[in-house]
């Protein structure tokens, strides 16, 4: 299994974000992303040696835990502004995010893509340690009307194929988001990757430390990955890997939810990531620790508690080849301090 190296050598730079969504608790809400800006790439040279090392190593482990639980082409406007010389902070964009969308009860941030344009503040990742990651290889990332879940547009990960196609957008979260993040997105997959690819990456600040640790929801072996990563730099490793027993849905819209709890009550560490598909929580195989030495089956590494979630990356970042042409769609993306749910 290849693990997602979330490469960044920069520190926090939070952007204030005005949120137009209701904060009323709810277990139901829709919201999407928007954008006609296109992030596209050509053949791509693949990721760095460090990524290759991670990419090759963990595949054989097959484990999980029984855890709790090219350039930016402006096809309709820029992808959201300059990333900044160092990739800006934990969110990576360095610009304010414009929250759009309706019906996101309980959501702190929601996007409904109904503007059919890239949301303000979303930018192409700029990782000085691996400039290609986040924008390389065949395929593109845009918002279009090909396959909306509701309304007229959705985020389209278009025509991914070949060696390590990686196209994503990154943004800061509102200041003071807090240590618990619930997420919800509607997903449509034209195929199921047999290798590892990251869909959602969220970073959180560690109290009294410059570190920014992060969680991930991704695909692998046609199932889900829930992963906790140690900070960058230097490598985002070691990491704690949870592979699900739940197969992803193909050729139909499905609601995927996740919970990243860095507070975790009185426990000494942040909690394992939890994932739901259509309201049913996935189960995991035994978890394993992965690092660049290809050591597997080790005890879970220390998982520091967090103070605030500070950034999110959305798109598809593959760490192996895709042997057939695939398309993926995301709609109704909502993030909150409480569960948003799948209704509406």
Q: What is the CATH number of the domain that holds 71?
A: 2.60.120.200
Query: Is the pLDDT at 45 greater than 50, yes or no?
Result: no
Q: Could you report the per-residue pLDDT of 4-25, keeping only the tens digit for each?
A: 333 333 333 333 333 333 333 3
Higher pLDDT, 222 or 23: 222
State the pLDDT at residue 293: 72
Task: For residue 167, tell me if it sits in a domain.
Answer: yes
Confidence of residue 87 (pLDDT cuts 50, 70, 90): very low
User: Which range, 70-74, 195-199, 314-318, 325-329, has the best average confidence (pLDDT)?
Assistant: 325-329
Identify whether 3 is part of a domain. Answer: no
Instruction: Write down the pLDDT at residue 274.
Output: 98
Q: Which two tokens stand for residue 42?
A: 């050509």
pLDDT digits (tens, 9 = 90+) for 311-325: 999 999 888 888 899
Domains in the chain: how many in total? 1
**Residue 42 scores a pLDDT above 90:** no
Whole-number pLDDT of residue 200: 95
SS (H, E, C) the chain: CCCCCCCCCCCCCCCCCCCCCCCCCCCECCCCCCCCCEEECCCCCCCCHHHHHHHHHHHHCCCCCCCCCCCEECCCCCCCCCCCCCCCCCCCCCCCCCCCCCCCCCCCEEECCCCCCCCCCCECCCCCCCCCCCEECCCEEEEECCCCCCCCCEEEEEEEEECCCEEEEEEECCCCCCCEEEEEEEEEECCCCCCCEEEEEEEEECCCCCCEEEEEEEEECCEEEEEEECCCCCCCCCEEEEEEEEECCCCCCEEEEEEEECCCCCCCCCCCCEEEECCEECCECCCEEECCCCCCCCCCCCCCCCCEEEEEEEEEEECCCEEEEEEEEEEEEEEECCCCCCEC
Least reliable range by pLDDT among 106-110, 182-186, 296-300, 333-337: 296-300
Place of tokens 């996007």: 111
Q: What pLDDT does residue 337 have?
A: 93
Strand order in the sheet with 223-229: 135-136, 166-172, 308-318, 197-205, 212-220, 223-229, 239-247, 288-290
| In contact, 226 and 198? CB cutoff 8 Å | no
Highest mean pLDDT among 115-124, 225-234, 328-337: 328-337
Instruction: Name which residue leads in pLDDT, 195 or 22.
Output: 195
CA dihedral sign, ordered 79, 80, 85, 86: negative
Q: What is the mean pLDDT of the chain?
A: 73
Whether 126 has a pLDDT exceeding 80, the answer reads no
Residue 130: inside a domain? yes
- Tell me what pLDDT residue 5 has: 37
Mean pLDDT value of segment 300-319: 92
**Domain that includes residue 189, residue range:** 38-336
Range with lowest mean pLDDT among 84-98, 201-215, 257-271, 288-302: 84-98
Neighbours of 45 (CB within 10 A): 11
Residue 306 in any domain: the answer is yes
Structure confidence at residue 102 as a pLDDT band (50, 70, 90): low
Report the range of poorest mean pLDDT among 21-25, 27-31, 81-85, 223-227.
81-85
pLDDT category, 307, cuts 50, 70, 90?
A: very high
pLDDT score of 344: 62
Q: Is the pTM of this model over 0.85?
A: no
Q: Evaluate whether residue 17 is within a structural domain.
A: no
Average pLDDT over residues 334-342: 93
54 and 292 in contact (C-beta within 8 Å)? yes
224 domain-assigned: yes
Any idea which of 59-73, 99-113, 149-163, 208-222 has the lowest mean pLDDT?
59-73
Please give the pLDDT value at position 152.
Answer: 94
Spatial contact of 66 and 288, defined as CB atoms under 8 Å apart: no
Does residue 29 lie within any of the structural domains?
A: no
Q: Taking the CA atoms of 87, 230, 275 and 295 in sequence, report the sign of the dihedral they define.
A: positive
Residue 18 domain-assigned (yes or no): no
**Is 90 exceeded by the pLDDT of residue 294?**
no
Q: Which residue has the higher pLDDT, 219 or 12?
A: 219
pLDDT class of 28 with cuts at 50, 70, 90? very low
């Amino acid at each position: 299994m290849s693990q997602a190296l979330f490469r960044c050598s920069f520190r926090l730079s939070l952007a204030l974000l005005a949120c137009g969504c209701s904060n009323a608790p709810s277990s139901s809400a829709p919201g999407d992303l928007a954008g006609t800006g296109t992030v596209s790439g050509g053949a791509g040279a693949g990721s760095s040696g460090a990524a290759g090392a991670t990419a090759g190593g963990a595949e054989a482990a097959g484990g999980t835990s029984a855890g709790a639980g090219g350039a930016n082409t402006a096809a309709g406007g820029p992808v959201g502004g300059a990333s900044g010389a160092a990739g800006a902070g934990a969110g990576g964009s360095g610009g304010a995010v414009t929250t759009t969308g309706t019906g996101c009860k309980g959501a702190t941030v929601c996007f409904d893509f109904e503007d059919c344009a890239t949301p303000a503040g979303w930018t192409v990742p700029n990782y000085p340690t691996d400039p290609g990651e986040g924008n390389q290889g065949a395929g593109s990332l845009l918002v279009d009307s090909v396959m909306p879940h509701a309304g007229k547009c959705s985020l389209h990960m278009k025509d991914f194929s070949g060696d390590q196609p990686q196209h994503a957008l990154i943004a800061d979260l509102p200041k003071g988001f807090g240590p618990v993040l619930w997420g919800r997105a509607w997903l449509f997959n034209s195929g199921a990757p047999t290798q590892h690819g990251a869909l959602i990456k969220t970073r959180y600040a560690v109290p009294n430390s410059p570190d920014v640790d992060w969680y991930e929801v991704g695909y692998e072996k046609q199932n889900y990955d829930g992963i906790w990563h140690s900070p960058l730099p230097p490598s985002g490793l070691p990491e704690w890997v949870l592979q699900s027993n739940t197969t992803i849905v193909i050729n139909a819209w499905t609601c995927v939810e996740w919970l990243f709890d860095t507070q975790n009550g009185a426990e000494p560490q942040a909690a394992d990531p939890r994932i739901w598909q259509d309201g049913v929580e996935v189960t995991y195989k035994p978890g394993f620790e992965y690092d660049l030495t290809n050591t597997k089956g080790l005890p879970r590494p220390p998982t520091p508690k967090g103070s605030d979630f500070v950034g999110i990356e959305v798109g598809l970042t593959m760490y192996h080849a895709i042997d057939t042409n695939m398309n993926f769609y995301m709609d109704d993306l909502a993030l909150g301090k409480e569960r948003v749910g799948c209704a509406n």
